[in-house]
Amino acid sequence: MDGNRRYARGKGKLVQEGHGDGYLALRRVLEICLRLNIRCVSVYAFAIDNFKRPQEEVTALMQLAESKLMELCSHGDLLQEYGVKLNVIGRRSLFPESVQAAVRKAEELTEGNNRSILNVCMPYSSRDEITTAVEDCIREVLAPANDFMSNDPIEEISEDTINSHLMSVKQGSPPLDILVRTSGVKRLSDFMLWQCCENTQLHFSNTYWPDFGLFDFVPIILEWQRSVWFRRQDVWLRDSHSRNR
């Protein structure tokens, strides 16, 4: 969700106002996703490196996170209306205690929802998620209670093992189909690097995140549906060719 600050500067607004408008865009796009029966949405809300930003901006973002988490999960609001389970993915211990408490409360309020998943990644980096998954795998195989076939327990760690220990996967997230970055910047910036390495469609939109909406998003979904249809046709043609040989 990139471009809040440039959007704010272009509109003559404070940076904090740009982030506030970015939250409204999140609500707008999330509702579009839920109406389209998209099962899982993950948003990059705050990077670990964002703590290096000016203290005034970081403080405003922490206050925004605390208040909007509770708003999203309150009775009758968006997540409850659509049965969405909220997960906060990242190194949450870096948050102030008040934000940590809001995270715990928000997750508790939605833990019984099972129609869709919203992963709010904060404070997050993909390298940290992968590192944590590898560390968890190592601790697991070296635990005294484990009895493995191999003489070297490290050999028990595979790509699938690491994948199953990723924070997002542990919360029930399916494979990543589409990754969208707004604001015209064409880089992944340490977001879901493992998840998007295979069969993920990447889209880079020139629209700043606070302006992003239906007319930006629907063409992306249609392009993904088109690519899925062609992949299925390709599989059908290959299978048909094999049977006729």
Which domains are delineated in the chain? 4-229 (3.40.1180.10)
Can you give the pLDDT at residue 237?
A: 56
Rg of the chain (C-alpha set) = 20
Phi-psi region of 12 (alpha: psi -120 to 50; beta: other; left: phi over 0): left
> Is the separation of the CB atoms in 220 and 178 below 8 Å?
yes
% the chain with pLDDT above 90: 80
Catalytic residue among 2, 4, 87, 119: 2
- Cis omega (within 30 of 0) for bond into 175: no
Can you give the pLDDT at residue 151?
A: 64
pTM listed for this prediction? 0.90
Q: Is-catalytic flag, 2?
A: yes
Q: Tokens for 23, please give them.
A: 């939250």
Catalytic residue among 4, 49, 50, 146: 50
Judge whether residue 139 has pLDDT over 70. Answer: yes
Q: Mean pLDDT across the stretch 25-43?
A: 95
Tell me how far CA of residue 178 lies from CA of 54, 105, 110, 182, in angstroms.
32, 29, 25, 13
Any idea of the CA torsion for 133, 115, 182, 5, to the nearest 10 degrees? -90
Q: Mean pLDDT across the stretch 162-180?
A: 96
> Is the separation of the CB atoms in 14 and 21 below 8 Å?
no
Q: Please state which of the ranges 60-64, 83-87, 140-144, 229-233 shows the lowest mean pLDDT.
A: 229-233
Q: Is-catalytic flag, 21?
A: no
Q: What residue ranges in 175-227 does DSSP mark as E strands?
A: 178-181, 201-204
